Amino acid sequence: MHHRGSVLRLWLVFATFALLLTPVSFVYAQSTRIIFLHHSCGANLIEQGDVRGGLSALGYEFFDHGYNEEGLRLANGSHSGRNFNVPGDNTDPDGYAAIFAQPLHDPPDNTFSHLMQYDMIAFKSCYPTSNIWDDHVLAEYQSYYLSIRERMDQFPEKLFIIVTQPPEVPGNSDAAAAARARRFVNWLQSEEFLVGHPNIYVFDFFGLLAGEDNFLKAGYRFDDYDGHPNESANRAIGPIFVDFIHQAILSFETGGPRPTPMTSESLITVAHTEVPAEETSRILQPAITGMIDDFEMMEVYWDAMPDDMGSTIECTLMTGDAHGGQGLMQIQYQIVPGGWASCGRSFDPPQNWSTGLGLTIWVNSENAGLNVNFDLFAGDPNDPTPFLTSLEIPSTGWTQIVVPWSDLERASWASETGLPTFDPAQVIGYGFGFTTEEGQVENTLWIDDIGLFIAEEGPPVEEAEPTPPSEEVVAQEPPEEETPEDAPSRGICSSSAMFIPFVVVVLVLRKRRSAIE
């Protein structure tokens, strides 16, 4: 223990200077105003997939427009009482071609001019568009979108997102028409259509909804004659849509590569907690309420801390093959038998994560089947309480792991004066730790897109009482519109030991700031 104390004191000196020079951020405030033009399928995606809540929590102002009768909804979800006068309420490809051919006027007096009042413009056709009955119609659709693309090219400062139409159901179409629909959406995502047009992105709604037969998946249907995706579909895809928009904006602003589209096969994610199959809908594909770390900002300070037995660890904020955007955290570690190492960050001031029911973490590992200790610290910054859980990395490749607050156990070695249970409203820091009892462990782990989530329906898993709804986040409207078992022991080498100096650093910082002020 004396050796560890020496290591901690040396680390403290280094970390104090590093933190004094490095700002810490939480949710990155945005000022981007988004408009989404759609019909009923879009409205259901927004409501049942919590698209507005997810984007508002990220700091965006999200507006949407349905049928003319419904008109424009403001960023707080209220109806504005006016509409964009969409010609014939037509959002088929020919309808959008007509809209994008309208002149641009200020003040706006037509649909196109209204759309161009926003920074990011998303638009979607409805499922009948997928009933492409012959190749001539397919060629017409492509021609319409070439004209739309030509007009979008004239506004390089604007970001456009084409949302592909949902697939049809078997009762309304046939296999040949459905196959043409797949060809159409694949063409929209092709290099032929996108290369050289950096302000155009495509969200493949069709691809996430369609089965191998190119029809709406059976589990996403009401029946074989209603092409509207059901609530299960919208709850699954809503958070993905939110993340895509966020990553598209980051990519567009930085000139980075377009977000990697998620495929239908990778839609179902891996949950951390093992629950009965009938309960998984409550935690799989959770609706994101706030991004904690997407690693796009390289200034956030993370600290690596190994034991004094020969274990090594490096935590590196870098750009590369990220889950979303370009930034990610790379953790390279080598743990000797009986050793440990950890990597984490602290928050000053503490963070309030009470709007979520847990965390969602995207991980990628060089080796599968390994366990990672995940620790959260909460409570008094002078005496934080550690809460622990273990994450199993099931495979290589990007995998989403969901950690409900209920999975966090109070460390057996925590101070008696600390919190009895985890309080997400008083988060001091978090980190990843690595241990081994037998044999040396060496691995590289990548972390990305750590965020809060809310349950899809009912109470969170393993809780008997209903969870109150998350606090609604309301974006400020722009003036012109008037408008988010006992704790498993880790022994003396717990990965959470690293946060003891984190708290001391926070104290040093506060005393230093007080002296300056």
Least confident of 111-120, 208-217, 501-510: 501-510
User: Could you give the CA distance from residue 405 to residue 422 in angstroms, rounded to a whole number?
Assistant: 7
The first and second tokens of residue 89, run together, are 């309420």
Q: Which pLDDT does position 477 carry in this prediction? A: 43
Q: Which pLDDT does position 488 carry in this prediction? A: 35
Band of pLDDT at residue 291, cut at 50, 70 and 90: confident
Give residue 199's Cα distance to chain centre: 21
Q: Which pLDDT does position 264 carry in this prediction? A: 52
Is the pTM here over 0.75, yes or no?
no
Residue 260 neighbours by CB under 8 Å, 6+ apart: none
Q: Three-state DSSP class for 397? A: coil
User: Could you give the CA distance from residue 508 to residue 353 in angstroms, rounded to a whole number?
Assistant: 24
pLDDT tens digits for 67-105?
999 999 999 999 999 999 999 999 999 999 999 999 999
CATH 3.40.50.1110 assigned to 33-267: yes
CATH 2.60.120.430 assigned to 292-516: yes
Domain ranges of the chain: 33-267, 292-516
User: Could you give the CA distance from residue 8 to residue 342 in angstroms, rounded to a whole number?
Assistant: 13
Mean pLDDT of the chain: 78
The first and second tokens of residue 437, run together, are 């009892």
Strands 441-454 and 327-335: antiparallel
| Across 150-156, average pLDDT | 97
Bigger pLDDT: 326 vs 28:
326
Sign, CA torsion 398/259/241/180 = negative
pLDDT reading at 163 higher than 90? yes
Q: Which pLDDT does position 299 carry in this prediction? A: 63
Residue 36 neighbours by CB under 8 Å, 6+ apart: 42, 46, 51, 62, 63, 64, 65, 122, 123, 124, 163
| Across 448-455, average pLDDT | 78
Q: Which pLDDT does position 245 carry in this prediction? A: 94
Residue 410 neighbours by CB under 8 Å, 6+ apart: 385, 386, 387, 388, 418, 419, 420, 421, 422, 487
User: Could you give the CA distance from residue 373 to residue 387 in angstroms, rounded to a whole number?
Assistant: 11
Burial of 423 (0-12, 13-18, 19+ CB in 10 A): middle
User: Could you give the CA distance from residue 297 to residue 314 in angstroms, rounded to a whole number?
Assistant: 18
Least confident of 246-255, 280-289, 407-416: 280-289
Longest dimension (CA), the chain: 79
Q: Which pLDDT does position 320 carry in this prediction? A: 82
% the chain with pLDDT above 70: 75
Least confident of 2-11, 27-36, 44-53, 389-398: 2-11
